[in-house]
Structure 1
Amino acid sequence: MKQILLSLSIIAMITSCRQQPIDVDTNYDEYPKTDASLWLDYAPERTVFKLWSPVAKAVKLRLYENGHDEAAIEIHDMQVGEDYVWTLEVAGDLNGRYYTYQVLTTDGPLLETPGIY
Structure 2
Amino acid sequence: MLVGGLRVLGANTGGVQHGVFTDRPGVLSQDFFRNLLDLGTSWRTSVDTEGVYEGPDADGTVARTATAADLVFGSNSILRGIVEVYSADDAREKFVQDFAAAWVKVMELDRVDLR
TM class by shorter chain equals: under 0.3
Structure number with higher helix proportion: 2
Structure number with higher strand proportion: 1
**TM-score, structure 1 length as denominator?**
0.21
Larger of the two Rg values belongs to structure: 1
